[in-house]
With several copies, the nearest count.
Chain A
Amino acid sequence: MVTIDDYQGQVTAWCPGCGDFGILQALKKALVDLKLEPHQVLIVSGIGQASKLPHYMKCNTFNGLHGRILPVATGAKIANQELVVIGVGGDGDNYGEGGNHFLHTIRRNIDITLLVHNNRVYGLTKGQASPTSDPGFISKVQPQGVISSSFNALSLAISLHASFVSRSWSGDIDHLSWLIKEAVQHKGFSLIDILQPCITFNKKNTYRWYKERIYKLAEEYDPANRLAAFKKAEEWGDKIPIGIFYREKKPTFADQLFGLKKGPLFRQRLDPSQVMPLLETLS
């Protein structure tokens, strides 16, 4: 039986008190609850504080480039559908540098779970605004305060027909680990935008700030209604909802791919003679 200890990783390099710890804990818990062994799981991360996470776990890890989590995860999942592939990274990683992949991975509905540690700031590079920083957020590079509007990943994902759109936060490990389990079990692309205090660089969106605002979507809330989901996703300010905003069953990318009909790619025997009939047609 797999236990939390099986997922014990390296010594962390995060600031003591950082929200990242909660996410790490919730992820381990979810995987153990799902009875997944470390070798069955692949975490793909980028570069940033969040993206260091897989080193603090113990499972297959591809810690790639800043912003390129999703394409690596996509390639890995296509090659080996048997792996549970989880993307992990920051708001800069996924919504800044990696914005284009975010759009198009949603369109593919490939069976990957994406955890975005949304601390609304660039942590590792020391505190610049991120796409999710609030207008007015002041940093050394934004001394007059952010003047662009804030990136709402949830409404954007809903607008793109994402099949699983959710939010949690690092301060509620039970909720987050429940959500991760739902997301991993969902067949298709699952987004979990995780609100996370950065105690060092985001003095606005603190633990307390979130604590005062966050509430769970009501039991009655119906995550099957896209328009309602869009509306809900727009809610932000004094009250911040968490939970599954939208969920839809639809075929995944790999389900449909002709090229996978012969079975998982990585299990296929490589057979040069395959090309003989093709060469024939050239004569």
Chain B
Amino acid sequence: MSVDFTLKIGGEAGQGMQTIGYALSKTFARSGFHLFANQDYMSRIRGGHNFFQIRVKEEPVYASSEEVDILIALDKATVEMHRPELKEKGVIIFDGEHIDISGEPSHLLSVPLERLAREEGGNKLFSNSVAVGGALGILAYQFDILAQVLKEVFVKRGEEIVENNIKAARAGYDFMQKNYKDFCLSPLRSGRSDKKMLISGNEALSLGAMAAGCKFMSAYPMTPSTGIITYLAGKAKQCGLVAEQAEDEIAAINMAIGASFAGVRAMVATSGGGFSLMVEALGLAGMTETPLVIIEAQRSGPSTGLPTRTAQGDLEFVLHASQGEFPRAIFAPATVEDAFWSVVKAFNVAEKYQVPVIIMSDQHLADSYLTCKKFDVSKVKIERGIISDAELAKIKDYKRHRFTQSGISPRALPSQEGRIVITDSDEHDEEGHLSEDLEIANKMAQKRLKKRQGLASEIEPPKVYPHENTEIVLIGWGSTYGALREALDVLINKGMDVSLMHFQEIWPFPAQFVSSILSKAKKSFCVENNATGQLAHIIRAETGKEVTAKILKFDGRPFSWQYIIRELKKGGKRWSL
């Protein structure tokens, strides 16, 4: 049977789960497996309950599973909370010298984590490395790879730390092999997949921005988007870019607009609350036709909500945000790979049409790691839409907001000799000067809105998998792709005539395409991480078609494929209270 197992590490915030979870993930990724890892953490720095869950598979994997094979419990709460998720043959690795677990002992693998940590590493802080080693031990997998990964992960903290971690892990590995031989799962052999990257959503978004030539990024810290400015700030020197922490989100977006106006590719990243504060300046970008990329990493709302949990509750907000009407594009990457390419495309679209482009991420995408093939950077095309000096020289009477057929006006940058660039948040004339003239107002509004046509032609319609013309269509957008895709494969295997229509680009809305797909299906189910079914609402507004039912979830936790299938069996719900 091919490999497909799930490993979950649970404990308190501050116990270093993120680090060792990442190390373990990297070990598997490097071994030729496909892998999906997601994180669940509280809005606190120490204590509480967090977990890091890794699903390792021989075949491509898209999402986590509800069932756990190996549970590494760094505290008792973890055992209590996650024991029900354990498979029949699953095991719990825990420190029996510190945690007292009652119940059927057959799968309880007590390892003296703390003791071994102290003995080998000299500090109980290395307990989790012991546990990780133990997990590898039970899989009887090559220790060397883990050792190498631990080295890389801890290298910045000095040689001693590296050594101690490795020793601690080794102790766990050996302990397991010695004491729980019988429990060992069938020894794991290396996967067959070629070399992969292990990358999170936030990393992919950040790298996408860098590949696209983003030179200025500003943000105010806000989970789950903070990882983006963190990543970029870390590369600022090396790559010649500026990542500035602003005094607030209003400053962040206005800075980015200023930078973009002055000629660089600029971006902001935030979550819903911060985006709320950016709404006024979103309209400023629309009105002044300043290109801008915004990453809106959704978390569970309303208001502060569950600050570290996932949701898809901001779609209609983002679609309609800011007073008045102006064109925008909205992308919603489905995977980490998508995340990378969506930012690249966002910058091109933003500059080509001189509009804001918003990328809807969420905590689930931002914090999850996925294995994927190295991005082919040579495919990155940069289309700036700035008129060249040569073109500019040909224009006698340069006007920043000239009326054109496409609605796209010539964009020059300030500081070019002999030309000046003027723009205004007030309605303005072609030059950019404020104007209250009725005719001009009318024409200028039309000019801006005309850009919708061009924009619409850039949009990829939703992907339909495996093919059109099925009886049932599942519909999703953004980060739910993984769970939907896994669910779909199961359903198809069971012989159901079902497909998935998944949106990675939402606006301008590909109404015709969607309409035709829905027309052919008998039943459609819209699956969304929110309480009202926002995409379903947009679909109806744009096509007049109502989905058969909605499958919704709004408790801050991502979908699992099992959940989707269960709800589908119940017929979905028209969510009404």
Contacts and interface: CB of A to CB of B under 8 A. Distances in A.
A171 to B, nearest CB: 20
A62 B414 CA distance: 10
A4 interface: no
A39 B247 contact: no
Given A83-B262, A142-B233, A282-B199, A71 B221 contact: no
21 contacts: A14-B44, A39-B419, A60-B415, A63-B423, A65-B254, A67-B248, A68-B281, A71-B252, A75-B259, A79-B216, A124-B43, A128-B245, A260-B240, A263-B240, A272-B211, A272-B382, A274-B239, A275-B207, A275-B210, A278-B207, A282-B197
Contacts, number: 283
A97 interface: yes
Main secondary structure on B side of the interface with A: mixed
Contacts of A223: none
A259 B250 CA distance: 22
B115 interface: no
Contacts of B169: none
Interface stretch (B84-92, B137-145, B222-230, B442-450): B222-230
B198 interface: yes
Contacts of A124: 43-45
Interface in B224-276: 226, 229-230, 233-237, 239-248, 250-266, 273
Given A200-B14, A275-B207, 12 more contacts: A42-B414, A63-B424, A65-B425, A79-B258, A79-B259, A79-B264, A80-B263, A97-B220, A265-B240, A268-B240, A273-B378, A282-B199
A101 interface: yes
Contacts of A271: 213
A129 B374 CA distance: 34
Given A97-B247, A100-B248, A279-B207, A75 B45 contact: no
A49 B434 CA distance: 12
A104 interface: yes
A16 interface: yes
Contacts of A265: 215-216, 240-242, 259, 263-264
A61 interface: yes
Contacts of A248: none
B247 A142 contact: no
A83 to B, nearest CB: 5
* Residue of A38, A64, A70 most packed against chain B (CB within 10 A): A64
Given A15-B14, A97-B248, A272-B212, A71 B258 contact: yes
Interface residues on A, range: 35 or more
B45 A126 contact: yes
Interface of A: 10, 13-16, 37-40, 42, 44, 47, 49, 52, 54-55, 58-68, 70-80, 82-83, 96-97, 99-101, 103-104, 122-126, 128-129, 131, 140-144, 200-201, 257-263, 265-266, 268, 270-276, 278-279, 282-283
Contacts of A99: 247-248
A273 B377 contact: yes
A204 B14 CA distance: 19
Contact of A75 (B256, B284, B288): B256
Interface string B183-227: 000000000000111110001000100111101101011110010
Contacts of B47: 13, 15-16
Contacts of B220: 96-97
B247 A100 contact: yes
B125 to A, nearest CB: 14
B434 to A, nearest CB: 6
Contacts of B433: 10, 55
Nearest to A61: B422
A128 B227 CA distance: 11
A104 B273 CA distance: 21
Given A63-B423, A75-B218, A262 B240 contact: yes
A44 B280 CA distance: 17
Interface residues of B, number: 95
Contacts of B229: 141
Given A62-B258, A65-B425, A101-B247, A140 B230 contact: yes
Contacts of A274: 210-211, 239
Nearest to A15: B46
B538 to A, nearest CB: 28
Given A104-B251, A272-B380, A283 B374 contact: yes
Given A82-B415, A260-B242, A275 B258 contact: no
A200 B13 CA distance: 12
Contacts of B211: 272, 274-275
A123 B13 CA distance: 14
Contacts of A270: 212-213, 215, 265, 382, 384
Contacts of B226: 125-126, 128, 141
A64 B257 contact: yes
Interface of B: 14, 29-30, 42-48, 195-199, 203, 207, 210-213, 215-216, 218, 220-223, 226, 229-230, 233-237, 239-248, 250-266, 273, 280-281, 284, 288, 303-304, 307, 374-375, 377-378, 380, 382, 384, 413-426, 432-434
Contacts of B236: 143-144, 257-259
A68 B254 contact: yes
Contacts of A272: 211-213, 377-378, 380, 382
The 7 closest A-B pairs by CB, nearest first: A270-B213, A75-B258, A262-B240, A71-B254, A75-B255, A60-B414, A266-B263
Nearest to B424: A63
Nearest to A49: B45
Contacts of B46: 13-16, 200
A166 to B, nearest CB: 23
* Residue of B203, B240, B378, B384 most packed against chain A (CB within 10 A): B240
Contacts of B259: 75-76, 78-79, 265
A35 to B, nearest CB: 14
A64 B254 contact: yes
A188 to B, nearest CB: 17
Given A265-B264, A272-B377, A273-B377, A61 B432 contact: yes
Contact of A80 (B218, B414, B426): B414
A279 B197 contact: yes
A75 B245 contact: no
B450 to A, nearest CB: 23
A263 B221 CA distance: 27
A200 B216 CA distance: 30
A118 B223 CA distance: 21
Nearest to A278: B207
B215 A79 contact: yes
A77 B255 CA distance: 9
Contacts of B288: 62, 64
